[in-house]
Amino acid sequence: MSSPILDSQLLENRRHFFGHASTGLGVAALASMLNPDLLAKEPTRDAARIGGLPGIPHFAPKAKRVIYLLQSGAPSQTDLFDYKPSLEKLHLTELPESIRKGQRLTGMTARQKSFPVVKSPWKFRQHGQSGTWISDLMPHMAGVVDDICVIKSMHTEAINHDPAITFFQSGHQQPGRPSIGSWLSYGLGSETENLPSFVVMLSKNTFHQAQPLYDRLWGSGFLASKYQGVKFRSQGDPVLYLSDPAAGGNVSRRAMLDRLAKLNHLREQQIGDPEITTRIAQYEMAYRMQTSVPELVDTSDEPESTFKLYGDDAKQPGTHAANCLLARRLAERGVRFIQVFHRGWDHHSNVQKYLPTLAKETDQGSAALIADLKRRNMLDETLVIWGGEFGRTIYSQGNPKTFGRDHHPRCFSIWMAGGGIKPGISYGQTDDYCYNIAENPVHVHDFHATILHCLGINHERLTHRFQGRDYRLTDVHGRVMKDILV
């Protein structure tokens, strides 16, 4: 056993913004407090890393950060990305048992007597040099297909929302494990001392049957709670408790913090507990956040061209487009893992009515984010992901005329872009029914292994010992999908 006390306890007690050298940096923070010029400085994107585990990254990373646009509720692959001309003939025929193979269905359709195949009512076209097929529901994504990799052969074991999204977020269907973002904060530390390294944003939900989200989806599980995602909100304070309810201008806050630091410092001299120095530094960081966060979420400094790119939605806080724009601004400021949750894809009835709304809500912002990162030369170092927790059935839930689609874990589509992913390709194939995978399956564990790989991490070696066992995001599974890497 290597020194267990020093290994874990030191790490536990250091804030991840300052890392191992906390005493030194804490003192620096104290000094900077007395010198306001130091505070005014914008953080640079090349700022040294703060926190993280020694030896990580294991190899040179392609991606410095991740923006993950999670589409909760499960978008329909058949109607968006997985073009199936074979369905023209199969439309309204019964899904054969040879395809279904007695697979588990949800309680919603398990008792349905017939399973008629329903083709997508939307037209698909090829786009870009790559000739990637995209449905007409995603006109803006059609414009960036040469920059993305569509994976059509994702699969998972979970068939209900809660276990499925928990699995995607943490590698395990039951609650209790750390989320991807918290693993990365823990392993890689932060690139900014003005912002948290893991930020979560929720789009305002418009669909009446949307699935709920839960704090644990960005929780830190058994890792220290400082690694959990920090929610940036579109109502009230962007970060909880950011503003002073009795605000009387910065002068008084500064005056108070100076005296607070003085008193804490007096105490520290007596006791010698380095935690006090750390706390002084935390107050400084809090102070900086009171400036840096409002400045970050205020997009009024963006030129009109930005809103042309992201669409007018981007001016409405809490829309998917606005969150995509904020994601870019967070990425510019060194935030490691940015996750946007968009809800409302769970269309058990009336796909024709609801799906276009959801596609419209997400299409332009997602495409704009790719284009924006690219023109800023950031796409190469930013891994962008778009996808849900499973797919939807090719057979109709309920009446085929007003068809719905039930949960389908056996195959679904997501896309990844930038950060070491091959652009302009489609990966994996499904069968003629878009029901089973025909070629190159990608499991959730493989997806996780690949994300970590892009960030320079061997997924088998980012571990945390908890209750006597070395846990990892990919449990005891996961293959890096080399075929989709640059």
Q: Which residue reads 């890689």 in tokens? A: 188
What is the smallest separation between the CB atom of 75 and other proteins, expressed in angstroms?
18
Residue of 136, 275, 332, 431 that binds other proteins (CB under 8 A): 275
Cis peptide leading into 4, omega within 30 of 0?
no
What is the smallest separation between the CB atom of 112 and other proteins, expressed in angstroms?
12
> Which of 63, 65, 64, 71 lies closest to 340 in space, CA to CA?
71
Cβ closest to other proteins, residue 126 vs residue 243: 243
> Which of 481, 385, 383 lies closest to 441 in space, CA to CA?
481
What is the smallest separation between the CB atom of 139 and other proteins, expressed in angstroms?
25
Cβ closest to other proteins, residue 335 vs residue 383: 335
Residue of 99, 188, 239, 437 that binds other proteins (CB under 8 A): 239
Q: Which stretch binds other proteins (CB under 8 A): 78-86, 270-278, 324-332, 431-439?
A: 270-278
Over the window 177 to 216, marking each residue x when it contacts other proteins by CB under 8 A and - when it does not, the resulting string is -------------------x-----x-xx--xxxxxxxxx
54 touching other proteins, by CB under 8 A: no
- Number of Cβ within 10 Å of residue 305's Cβ equals 9
47 touching other proteins, by CB under 8 A: no
255 CB contacts (<8 Å, ≥6 apart)? Answer: none
Which residues between 80 and 139 bind other proteins (CB under 8 A)?
Answer: 104, 106-108
254 touching other proteins, by CB under 8 A: no
Per the structure block, which two tokens stand in for 393? 């059935």
341 CB contacts (<8 Å, ≥6 apart)? Answer: 70, 72, 200, 201, 202, 203, 213, 217
Q: Which stretch binds other proteins (CB under 8 A): 237-245, 302-310, 415-423, 434-442?
A: 237-245
Which residues between 5 and 34 bind other proteins (CB under 8 A)?
Answer: 5-6, 9-10, 12-15, 17
Residue of 86, 126, 243, 250 that binds other proteins (CB under 8 A): 243
Cβ closest to other proteins, residue 2 vs residue 300: 2
Cβ closest to other proteins, residue 398 vs residue 441: 398
What is the smallest separation between the CB atom of 395 and other proteins, expressed in angstroms?
15
Size of interface with other proteins, in residues (CB under 8 A): 96
Rounded Cα–Cα distance for residues 76 and 345 (Å): 8
232 touching other proteins, by CB under 8 A: no
475 touching other proteins, by CB under 8 A: no
Which residues between 161 and 180 bind other proteins (CB under 8 A)?
Answer: 161-162, 174-176
Cβ closest to other proteins, residue 111 vs residue 123: 111
Q: Which stretch binds other proteins (CB under 8 A): 125-133, 145-153, 181-189, 247-255?
A: 247-255
> Which of 110, 141, 113 lies closest to 125 in space, CA to CA?
141
Rounded Cα–Cα distance for residues 305 and 198 (Å): 28
55 touching other proteins, by CB under 8 A: no
Per the structure block, which two tokens stand in for 479? 């293959």
374 touching other proteins, by CB under 8 A: no
248 touching other proteins, by CB under 8 A: yes
Q: End-to-end CA distance of the chain, in Å? A: 39
Segment (H or E) for 354: helix 351-375
Per the structure block, which two tokens stand in for 252? 């008084």
Rounded Cα–Cα distance for residues 99 and 104 (Å): 13
Q: Backbone phi, then psi, for 232, in 5-degree steps?
A: -100, 120
Cβ closest to other proteins, residue 316 vs residue 350: 350
Q: Backbone phi, then psi, for 224, in 5-degree steps?
A: -60, 145
Torsion on CA atoms 279, 280, 282, 287, rounded to nearest 10:
150
Q: Which stretch binds other proteins (CB under 8 A): 51-59, 272-280, 363-371, 445-453?
A: 272-280
Residue of 353, 376, 439, 483 that binds other proteins (CB under 8 A): 353
Task: Give the side-chain half-sphere CA count within 13 A for 160.
Answer: 9
What is the smallest separation between the CB atom of 152 and other proteins, expressed in angstroms?
25
Provide the sign of the torsion angle of the four alpha carbons 150, 152, 158, 159, taken in this order.
Answer: positive
Which residues between 393 and 412 bind other proteins (CB under 8 A)?
Answer: 398-399, 402, 407
Q: At 127, is the secondary structure helix, strand, or coil? A: strand
Cis peptide leading into 57, omega within 30 of 0?
yes
- Asked if 280 and 22 touch (Cβ cutoff 8 Å), the reply is no
477 touching other proteins, by CB under 8 A: no
Cβ closest to other proteins, residue 130 vs residue 349: 349
285 touching other proteins, by CB under 8 A: yes
Rounded Cα–Cα distance for residues 262 and 379 (Å): 44
